[in-house]
């Protein structure tokens, strides 16, 4: 095989047993890799209605065929499992260095089943695979754990691990790699913690073989040259990282403010990319083989909020900053460091505290309930809440359940700004309506990374479309969801893929991505077949959700988005007209009126028959 190793590592944690499997070429091509291979395995090998924190859940680390190749940004891996936060599928994505080192072990996927009787970590050095005790690591934070694991294995290896949040089964726990990078969303760290798996350490030199090494090399060099020219011309991602976005969304009136009560934040100038660069940026930080370098290596010398690490990025700034009413950049950066050290998803952590703040300020939560005041604009309360959340101590035990369970407990689930119980990222869909349909229909819940139409609605990439209309949004969301499934399965970063590997017309799709896949795998993908593969992946995820008990009622948005018009700004008076878009979306998907793939659609995609 080319691009793919075609080899899977299976780890039975309960029996401390390690086995390997090979993958047939047809499955490889039909599901591409990464997210695609993982959902196929998950769907066929676990009961979708199982408790996500039980030993019956399966945890999968998955690389794609372009991971560890010359493809620019070919350095992503997916963590796929059933989410304890939502009960739906989870496909969290991360970069850094770990994904390439993982692929170089000679395995495409790591599959973890069962639960270890005691804490362990996995050490993989190509064909040498060992389960080792991690009892001495339990309770330690991410940086400390990483340093100890490298001392015990190989200082040139790479580490993915959980912090105290994952150990304590906080439902927004992340899996952290390379200390600062996160497979963050949906609580994948809690699944890892539920299996008593503290970390995974990888080392190896087995780069995948390429079908057309010369063709792939030329293609990658040309693409790198194009990206490099754009960076030299003044790339906002290189100069400011994603922290340039607050000014854009604030101007559009969709910057989440005070738990999405409004879309413009008075303190935006104090927490944006310009302020971050001027005050705390050491240098841009790139993932392995990335020409963009959107990461931020930062250091805060504030006596109260001092520290050093990576970030914050846009989603962290919106969830911890504007959503919580915090305009102190030092405090936002410190809160980001705390999340990385403890292993927390900054989006769900921040939005859960924002929901608690609204409950508190409206009198539904009291200081007696919490143990301390929790008002919008109080950075110390946010940082304290994150630490308690990770440890499940005091009120943190309630916060650790996420905003939906928190708000429901206190009688006001409408204050939870979630879809399928997953907290919104930093785009208010009342002013970017395609994003509203995406949040509602995404298989993992409210995630921009499931098909980020904000590129077109907000940033004009590859072309600007009207964010306030619902016209043509169902067709665009279907296309982008399928295309993002391809990108995730291939092992690429969406930042480069959307900007440089799509044709100029949104409707046509990832033309250059098809070329990269064929140079790498020799699988003779066409534009149509590779998009069909994305559609196949998306529909199989939907089948998993159906069997897990999800239906049309779950394809919705919180009342604030549907019934409360945006109070100010360019989107003033707007709500999301979801039902009209949803009906058209189901038809375009080939689903019935209840949102279930029809027998005809399943047959078309080679997914068998409806067996329920």
Instruction: List, as one string, the DSSP characters of 105-169.
Output: TT-SEEEEES--SS-EEEEEETTEEEEEE-TTTTT--HHHHHHHHHHHS-TTSEEEE--HHHHTT
Looking at the structure of the chain, the number of domains it has is 3
Q: How confident is the model at residue 501 (pLDDT cuts 50, 70, 90)?
A: low
Kindly state whether residues 18 and 74 are assigned to the same domain: yes
Give the CATH number for residue 77: 3.60.9.10
Span 463-490, mean pLDDT?
A: 95
Kindly state whether residues 454 and 532 are assigned to the same domain: yes
Give the CATH number for residue 396: 1.10.569.10
Kindly state whether residues 417 and 434 are assigned to the same domain: no
User: Pseudo-torsion of CA 249, 250, 254, 255, nearest 10°?
Assistant: 90
The model carries a pTM of 0.97
Kindly state whether residues 433 and 415 are assigned to the same domain: no
In this prediction, residue 237 carries a pLDDT of 85
Q: How confident is the model at residue 502 (pLDDT cuts 50, 70, 90)?
A: low
DSSP letter string over 492-536? --HHHHHHHSS-SSTTT--HHHHHHHHHHH-----HHHHHHHHHH
Kindly state whether residues 458 and 594 are assigned to the same domain: yes
Contact call for residues 79 and 90 (beta carbons, < 8 A): yes
Compare 501 and 147 and report the one with higher pLDDT. 147
Kindly state whether residues 533 and 599 are assigned to the same domain: yes
Residues in CB range of 417: below 8 A, 6 or more apart: 256, 259, 260, 351, 354, 355, 403, 423, 424, 558, 560, 561
Q: Looking at 112-121, 324-333, 436-445, 457-466, which range is the least confident one?
A: 457-466
In this prediction, residue 384 carries a pLDDT of 98
Contact call for residues 13 and 196 (beta carbons, < 8 A): yes
Instruction: Please indicate, yes or no, if residue 577 is contained in any of the structural domains.
Output: yes
Instruction: Please indicate, yes or no, if residue 239 is contained in any of the structural domains.
Output: no
Kindly state whether residues 196 and 308 are assigned to the same domain: no
Kindly state whether residues 374 and 456 are assigned to the same domain: no
Instruction: Please indicate, yes or no, if residue 211 is contained in any of the structural domains.
Output: no
In this prediction, residue 508 carries a pLDDT of 36
pLDDT 10s digits, 533-561: 999 999 999 999 999 999 999 999 999 99
pLDDT 10s digits, 11-29: 999 999 999 999 889 999 9
Give the CATH number for residue 451: 1.10.599.10
> 116 in the Ramachandran plot: left (φ > 0), alpha (ψ -120 to 50) or beta?
beta
Tell me how far apart the alpha carbons of residues 105 and 279 are, in angstroms, rounded to a whole number. 40
Instruction: Please indicate, yes or no, if residue 223 is contained in any of the structural domains.
Output: no
Q: Residue 61 class from Cβ within 10 Å (0-12 exposed, 13-18 middle, 19+ buried)?
A: buried
Share of the chain above pLDDT 70, in %: 98
Chain centroid to Cα 511, Å, comes to 24
pLDDT 10s digits, 408-460: 999 999 999 999 999 999 999 999 999 999 999 999 999 999 999 999 999 98
Contact call for residues 456 and 465 (beta carbons, < 8 A): yes
Residues in CB range of 391: below 8 A, 6 or more apart: 164, 168
In this prediction, residue 505 carries a pLDDT of 40
Write down the mean pLDDT value for the chain. Answer: 95
Contact call for residues 481 and 434 (beta carbons, < 8 A): no
Instruction: Please indicate, yes or no, if residue 2 is contained in any of the structural domains.
Output: no
Q: Which of 407, 422, 437 is the last residue of a domain?
A: 422
**Burial letters for 572-610: b for 16+ Cβ neighbours within 10 Å, e otherwise?**
eebbbebeebbebbbeebbbeeebbbeeebbeebebeee
Span 522-527, mean pLDDT?
A: 93
Domain enclosing residue 592, as ranges: 429-605
Instruction: Please indicate, yes or no, if residue 150 is contained in any of the structural domains.
Output: yes
Q: Residue 549 class from Cβ within 10 Å (0-12 exposed, 13-18 middle, 19+ buried)?
A: exposed
Residues in CB range of 329: below 8 A, 6 or more apart: 270, 271, 275, 276, 279, 280, 321
Is the pLDDT at 612 greater than 90? The verdict is no
Kindly state whether residues 277 and 403 are assigned to the same domain: yes
Kindly state whether residues 482 and 386 are assigned to the same domain: no
Kindly state whether residues 129 and 29 are assigned to the same domain: yes
Q: Which of 422, 444, 459 is the last residue of a domain?
A: 422
Instruction: Please indicate, yes or no, if residue 222 is contained in any of the structural domains.
Output: no
Contact call for residues 13 and 113 (beta carbons, < 8 A): yes
Q: Which of 373, 400, 422 is the last residue of a domain?
A: 422
Share of the chain above pLDDT 90, in %: 89
Instruction: Please indicate, yes or no, if residue 215 is contained in any of the structural domains.
Output: no
Kindly state whether residues 273 and 189 are assigned to the same domain: no
pLDDT 10s digits, 251-302: 999 999 999 999 999 999 999 999 999 999 999 999 998 888 889 999 999 9
In this prediction, residue 509 carries a pLDDT of 45
Is the pLDDT at 609 greater than 80? The verdict is no
Tell me how far apart the alpha carbons of residues 59 and 190 are, in angstroms, rounded to a whole number. 11
């Amino acid at each position: 095989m080319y691009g793919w190793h075609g080899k899977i590592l299976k780890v039975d944690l309960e029996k401390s047993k390690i086995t390997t499997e090979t993958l047939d070429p047809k499955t490889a091509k039909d599901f591409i890799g990464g997210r695609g291979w993982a959902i196929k395995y998950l769907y066929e090998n676990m009961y979708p209605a199982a408790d996500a924190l039980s030993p019956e859940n399966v945890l999968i680390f998955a690389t794609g065929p372009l991971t560890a190749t010359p493809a620019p940004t070919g350095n992503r891996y997916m963590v796929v499992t059933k989410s304890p936060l939502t009960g739906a599928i989870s496909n969290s994505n991360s970069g850094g260095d770990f994904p390439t080192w993982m692929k170089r072990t000679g395995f495409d996927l790591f599959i973890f089943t069962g639960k270890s009787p005691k804490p362990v970590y996995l050490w993989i050095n190509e064909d040498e695979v060992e389960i080792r005790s991690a009892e001495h690591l339990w309770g330690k934070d991410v940086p400390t754990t990483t340093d100890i694991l490298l001392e015990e294995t190989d200082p040139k290896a790479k580490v993915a691990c959980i912090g105290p949040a994952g150990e304590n089964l906080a439902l927004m726990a992340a899996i952290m790699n390379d200390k600062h990078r996160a497979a963050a969303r949906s609580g994948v760290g809690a699944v890892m913690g539920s299996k008593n798996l503290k970390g995974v350490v990888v080392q190896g030199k087995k780069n995948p073989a390429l079908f057309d090494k010369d063709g792939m090399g030329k293609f990658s060099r040309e693409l790198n040259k194009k990206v490099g020219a754009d960076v030299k011309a003044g790339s906002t991602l290189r100069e400011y990282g994603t922290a340039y976005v607050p000014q854009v969304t604030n101007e559009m009136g969709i910057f989440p403010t005070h738990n999405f009560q409004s879309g413009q934040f008075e303190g935006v100038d104090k927490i944006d990319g310009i302020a971050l660069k001027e005050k705390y940026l050491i240098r841009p930080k790139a993932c392995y083989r990335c020409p963009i370098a959107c990461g931020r290596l930062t250091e805060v010398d504030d006596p109260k909020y001092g520290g050093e690490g990576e970030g914050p990025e846009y989603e962290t700034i919106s969830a911890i900053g504007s959503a919580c009413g915090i305009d102190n950049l030092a405090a936002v950066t410190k809160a980001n460091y705390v999340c990385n050290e403890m292993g927390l998803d900054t989006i769900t952590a921040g939005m859960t505290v924002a929901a608690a703040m609204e409950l508190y300020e409206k009198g539904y939560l009291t200081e007696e309930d919490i143990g301390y005041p929790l008002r919008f604009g109080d950075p110390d309360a946010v940082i304290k809440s994150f630490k308690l959340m990770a440890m499940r101590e005091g009120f943190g035990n309630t916060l650790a359940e996420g905003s939906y369970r928190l708000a429901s407990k206190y009688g006001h689930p409408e204050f939870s700004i979630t879809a399928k119980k997953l907290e919104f990222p930093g785009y208010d869909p009342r002013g970017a309506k395609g994003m509203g349909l995406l949040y509602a229909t995404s298989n993992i819940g409210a995630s921009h990374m499931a098909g980020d139409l904000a590129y077109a609605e907000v940033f004009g990439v590859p072309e600007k479309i009207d964010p306030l209309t619902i016209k043509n949004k169902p067709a665009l969301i279907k296309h982008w969801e399928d295309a993002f499934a391809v990108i995730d399965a291939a092992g690429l970063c969406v930042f480069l893929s959307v900007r440089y590997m799509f044709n100029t017309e949104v409707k046509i799709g990832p033309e250059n991505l098809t070329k990269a896949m064929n140079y790498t795998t020799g699988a003779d993908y066409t534009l149509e077949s590779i998009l069909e593969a994305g559609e196949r992946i998306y529909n199989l995820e939907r089948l998993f959700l159906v069997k897990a008990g999800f239906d049309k009622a779950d394809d919705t948005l919180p009342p604030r988005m549907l019934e409360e018009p945006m109070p100010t700004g360019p989107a003033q008076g707007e709500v999301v007209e979801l039902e009209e878009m949803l009906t058209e979306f189901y038809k375009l998907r080939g689903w019935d009126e209840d949102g279930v793939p029809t027998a005809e659609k399943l047959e078309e995609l080679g997914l068998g028959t409806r067996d329920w």
